């Protein structure tokens, strides 16, 4: 695995840790690349350009994520504005904020996936203690009258999180929020007016 070959830990347990990582990554690379393609990558990472890419890749990833955060916020604000126009009955409630926060979580999960090749295990992984893609209040799971319940999904039981589900429930139904919401890695948001929303609830048009 080319990137791993260049990243052995420099400590007494480096060899053990390296072997462990290789064993974990072999099926991942095997799932997406042929043997000849992997050999080609190994040859590339041994070239001056390949070595340079490995040196700069962590900073490139970090800068890319930082560049996407303002874009994500802009998209969220636009969506919230459109939602307020489409559902005027929700303007005086926390529902619009809940929808915006769900959009923020969805966008953050996509950014997280692009870096880690898996979705986060918890909302905390997206917050300041993790990748700093959402604010600390949202990462705590409670914001603007809603509780956000994040559930990672490991479809095939291989330890890799391939999906997720998020439910947004009003703390005080009818007071802190009118509707219940659900979203997942599809990015689609669904709602329920009379109980917890699920993947079977109608989508927001």
CB 177 within 8 A of CB 93: yes
In Å, what is the CA distance from 124 to each residue of 18, 133, 134?
A: 27, 10, 9
| pTM recorded for the entire structure | 0.62
Measured distance CA(124)–CA(62) in Å, rounded: 18
What is residue 189's three-state secondary structure?
Answer: strand
pLDDT of residue 69: 66
| pLDDT of the residue at 4 | 44
Non-local CB neighbours of 121 within 8 Å, separated by 6+ positions? 152, 161
The predicted structure's pLDDT at residue 175: 87
pLDDT tens for the chain, 205 residues: list them: 444 444 443 344 444 445 665 676 677 777 888 888 888 888 888 898 888 888 887 777 767 766 666 766 666 666 666 666 666 655 547 888 898 899 999 999 998 998 898 999 999 999 999 999 999 999 999 999 999 999 999 988 888 999 999 999 999 998 889 899 999 999 999 999 989 999 999 998 6
Structure token digits, residue 117: 């090749």
Report how far residue 122's alpha carbon sits from residue 119's, in angstroms, rounded to the nearest whole number.
Answer: 9
Could you tell me which of 165, 175, 169 has the C-alpha nearest to residue 200? Answer: 165
């Amino acid at each position: 695995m080319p990137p791993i070959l260049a990243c052995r830990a420099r400590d007494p347990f480096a060899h053990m840790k390296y072997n462990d990582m290789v064993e974990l990554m072999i099926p991942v690379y095997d799932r997406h690349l042929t043997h000849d393609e992997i050999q080609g990558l190994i040859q590339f990472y041994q070239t001056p350009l390949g070595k340079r890419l490995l040196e700069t890749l962590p900073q490139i990833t970090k800068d890319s994520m930082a560049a996407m955060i303002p874009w994500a916020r802009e998209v969220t604000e636009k969506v919230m504005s459109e939602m307020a126009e489409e559902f005027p009955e929700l303007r005086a409630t926390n529902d619009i904020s809940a929808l915006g926060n769900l959009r923020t979580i969805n966008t953050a999960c996509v950014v997280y996936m692009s870096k880690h090749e898996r979705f986060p295990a918890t909302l905390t992984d997206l917050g300041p203690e993790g990748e700093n893609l959402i604010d600390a209040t949202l990462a705590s799971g409670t914001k603007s009258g809603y509780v956000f319940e994040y559930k990672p999904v490991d479809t095939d039981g291989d330890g890799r999180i391939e999906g997720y589900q998020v439910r947004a429930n009003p703390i005080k139904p009818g007071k802190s929020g009118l509707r219940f919401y659900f979203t997942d890695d599809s990015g689609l948001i669904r709602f329920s007016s009379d109980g917890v929303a699920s993947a079977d609830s109608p989508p927001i048009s």
